């Protein structure tokens, strides 16, 4: 199984056009606003002795932080251009980066065979996946954590669509980073309410903890306030 040509091409085009500058992507927030607080939510359920896999790693900002907290960190992304961004940003080889299609079950199994059970960090992947791909993405989380790993999953809620729409329609049009997202045909906050939790449970995952949060962005409104998008988070494990 593979993702649609539209989806793959949209992400390849986006990452090919984005520069290497930190924060150039709208969601490329500092780890202090993303992976660090997320890991604090995951830590009560894991001892961090396993490898960690960052699904949808983009340019690797969060993966590099995770590499300071885990013995081994691997960032994977559908986009070849994103993986190249990540490698250029990490000349010391703090983390590992590779291209991976999460809906390719055989490729996901092969990664699990190489790493063994792993913790998973996934921020904002399901909500913008095409509908037919969301269940396979959840299944990829289950396959990678196996019996021993745990996963943090953070996803935008539908309330984010209203925020994005409001910002996009502001006088003067959308700010540049959001304009780039929309211009490349990316579709954030598409998942319905309860869809993410249903997908995780449908993949055989047990939800250990969950809550409401926001995902801070690197883009700002005209009045200078940062755009924080409504989101939900889950910590999950495979069912016994």
State residue 190's pLDDT score.
Answer: 85
Length of the chain: 240
- The 3-state DSSP class for residue 185 equals coil
Domain residue spans of the chain? 9-53+103-238
Return d(Cα 53, Cα 123) in angstroms, integer: 11
113-122 residue pLDDT tens = 999 999 999 9
| In the chain, % of residues over pLDDT 90 | 88
Query: For residue 193, what pLDDT band results from cuts at 50, 70 and 90?
Result: confident
Regarding the domain with residue range 9-53+103-238, which homologous superfamily does it belong to in the CATH classification? Vaccinia Virus protein VP39 (3.40.50.150)
- What residue ranges in the chain does DSSP mark as E strands? 52-55, 73-77, 96-99, 119-123, 150-156, 205-220, 226-238
206-226 residue pLDDT tens = 999 999 999 999 999 989 999
226-235 residue pLDDT tens = 999 999 999 9
Query: For residue 188, what pLDDT band results from cuts at 50, 70 and 90?
Result: confident
| Mean pLDDT along residues 169-174 | 89
Given a cut of 90, whether residue 80 has pLDDT beyond it is yes
Q: Which residues pair with 213 in a beta bridge?
A: 231
Burial 215-240 (b: 16+ CB within 10 A, else e): bbbbbeeeeeeebebbbbbbbbbbee
Q: What is the DSSP string of 78-133?
A: S-HHHHHHHHHT-TT-SSEEEE--TT-HHHHHHHHHHH-S-EEEEES-GGGS-HHH
Query: For residue 2, what pLDDT band results from cuts at 50, 70 and 90?
Result: low
Given a cut of 70, whether residue 1 has pLDDT beyond it is no
Residue 83 CB neighbour total at 10 angstroms: 22
State residue 88's pLDDT score.
Answer: 98
The sign of the dihedral angle between the CA atoms of 35, 38, 44, 46 is negative
| Mean pLDDT along residues 128-148 | 96
81-117 residue pLDDT tens = 999 999 999 999 999 999 999 999 999 999 999 999 9
Return d(Cα 108, Cα 91) in angstroms, integer: 26
């Amino acid at each position: 199984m593979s993702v649609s040509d539209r989806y793959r091409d949209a992400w390849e085009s986006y990452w090919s056009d984005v520069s290497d500058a930190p924060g150039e992507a709208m969601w490329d927030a500092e780890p202090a606003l993303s992976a660090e607080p997320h890991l604090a939510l995951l830590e009560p359920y894991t001892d961090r002795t396993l490898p960690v896999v960052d699904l949808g790693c983009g340019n690797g900002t969060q993966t590099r932080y995770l590499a300071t907290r885990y013995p081994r960190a691997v960032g994977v992304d559908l986009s070849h251009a994103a993986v190249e961004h990540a490698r250029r940003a990490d000349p010391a080889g703090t983390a590992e980066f590779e291209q991976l299609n999460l809906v390719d079950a055989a490729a996901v199994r092969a990664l699990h065979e190489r790493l063994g059970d792993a913790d998973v960090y996934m921020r904002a992947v399901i909500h913008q996946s095409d509908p037919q791909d969301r269940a396979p993405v959840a299944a990829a989380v289950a396959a990678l954590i196996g019996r021993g790993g745990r996963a943090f999953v953070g996803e935008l809620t539908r309330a984010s669509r209203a925020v994005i729409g409001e910002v996009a329609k502001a006088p003067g049009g959308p700010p540049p980073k959001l304009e780039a997202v929309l211009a490349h045909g990316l579709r954030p906050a598409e998942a319905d309410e309860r869809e993410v939790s249903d997908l995780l449970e449908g993949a055989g995952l047990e939800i250990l903890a969950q809550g409401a949060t926001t995902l801070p962005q690197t883009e700002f409104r005209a009045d200078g306030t940062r755009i924080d998008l409504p989101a939900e988070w889950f910590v999950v494990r495979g069912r016994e």
